[in-house]
Structure 1
Amino acid sequence: MNEFGRDLPSTIEWCVTVGGTAPPLGRGRTRELWDLLAATALRDVAAARILEPHLDALSILQQAGTDLHAAVDPWQLSTIGADRTSSWGVFAAEGPGLRVDARETASGWTLSGTKPWCSLASHLSHALVTAFVGAERRLFAVALRTPAVRPHDGPWLARGLPDIVSAPVDFDGAVAVPIGEIGWYLTRPGFAWGSMSVAACWWGGALGLRDALQVAASSERADQVALVHLGTVDAALWAARAVLREAADLVDAGTRTDPKLLAERVRAAVVHAATTALAESDAALGPGPLVSNPEHARRVADLHLYLRQHHGLRDAARLGRLAVQGGVGG
């Protein structure tokens, strides 16, 4: 695929195909799943940004007892045209002044309102959407290619992930199928597990920067400083790899480790390693590859934006709060 990650229809089609055989999250093969996501990000960060929510949606559905690839459909997703060929997003963000409400009618559930940060809503067939039922939130599956669903085309001025538009979507009485009971989506352990799948993508994307540093350090013109940059990044990414592997084993073992604490620790460790890789590669390689190497420049821009799914000091404070509650050993 020459335009992997850039040609959205073909990349989405590839993601749907991969979803038919991808290891499920939290069922003994989480290492394999995260290795798949990391390998995809190593090849192309944008492709991983498309694949991760699709696989996350399939995992969420499996946790709710649905497996579309095995024709197991207790929530009756077939009523909205969902099947093994569907492409999925997960739209769970909230924003000031924006809200989606769910209403149960005699013929079923409908969604109305505006949901922010809906990635690729114009290109996907279906999405899992959180909506309010009174004061609480519940998860719903929705078909996106209907007149009752209107994706915005922006604003999206991003230089990183420029083709993966994450803009609001208006729902106007869109037919919806509930998935799980009220509150289930946010309270299940898989909610935290999914956020670590994102970290696996960050790690894979940063590996491409390490490779660039290794090439530079292997040059006849390289000096000790080039080796320092490479060594710093290599150590940081190796440590992040160890963190991801231990976390995967803990997820699969079903230990009593608080999933929220585990996820915040993993994301903090991986975002630190990826940020280190970005800073060290900038310092080591200079402006040259940023202005003359399209693949490198794209990786840097894409990874910078993708890492903003970590909220910096706010997430660090959340981790500190969880650590206080759970103890250092957690």
Structure 2
Amino acid sequence: MKVIYDPRHVFFQPKNIFENSKIKVNPDNPNKIESIVGLLKKDLRFDFIKPMDFPRSYLYLAHDQEYILWLKTLSKKLKTEEEYFPKVFGYDKIYDTQTPITNNTFEMAWISAKCALTGADYIIKTANDAYCLTRPSGIHAGLDNGGGKCYLNNGAIAAKYIQSKTNAYIAILNIGSFHANGTQEIFYEDNTTLTISIHSNPSDNFPYISGYEWELGCNEGRGYNINFPLSKNNEAKDYIRVLEKAILEIKNFDPDFLIISLSTDMNENDENSCFKLNSNDFKNIGNLISKLEVPKLILQENGYNSNVNEISIKSFFDGLII
């Protein structure tokens, strides 16, 4: 399997977050990805390639031009080591205090998006699966905003790119502890893209404002957005049962491509986990997804514990690649 990886992500090192009115260390550091790189480079099933270059115009397929201009302009204004947090919600396009902007945020997010675009281009041309080591993550970035440590929605950009080159129908499956609110927003009125998210109940977990089961999409997209909010500390058997339902929905939709937003933060050993899943459960998840006979683009999303990432990713691919 091709792995799209850009080592320049190590230059993205946000230092702080604000949480409950306190400054805390930002958990998003390069080890999140580098631990996975070290693991996969020892595995002959994986072949690393660098991302290609693309026109930045592809960003506007998924994001509002005002948001992109705001993010790019603000990033360039900041000094080295300076971190900007939102001050005026509405003017500031970041909706929380866990997503600081630094002087290289836009460029680093663009590099991450180019990894996803390269993966999308690869699966179009080969109909084979690809895995993108995207950082920063993307699932919480919406049409005209960022948040949840996400700035550009890599999965949405990849999906829109595929559809700009083909007449494809696409399914996007989010598996992790938290709802893919940004992805949902971007495709909420779209009947050519099925969006499914399995996550913890937003009534008491991020992003709080979306991810409920009654959010079905609207206008032409009604019925093409499916949420599976699960209770906290859900057992693996319940998670797997819901995943089976999601896979059935994907089969009924019969997409040409499948994009998987993969987080490892539902592993019970991750500090942010809302579920009781272990490494063997990740293998079962990979095995179930392998039954979908469609080219797959897998994007690395959340999960900030390096040891958990290694174990979870190895188990997932042991189940997926059979």
TM-score using structure 2 length: 0.25
Q: Decide which structure has greater helix share.
A: 1
TM-score using structure 1 length: 0.24
> Which protein shows a greater Rg?
1
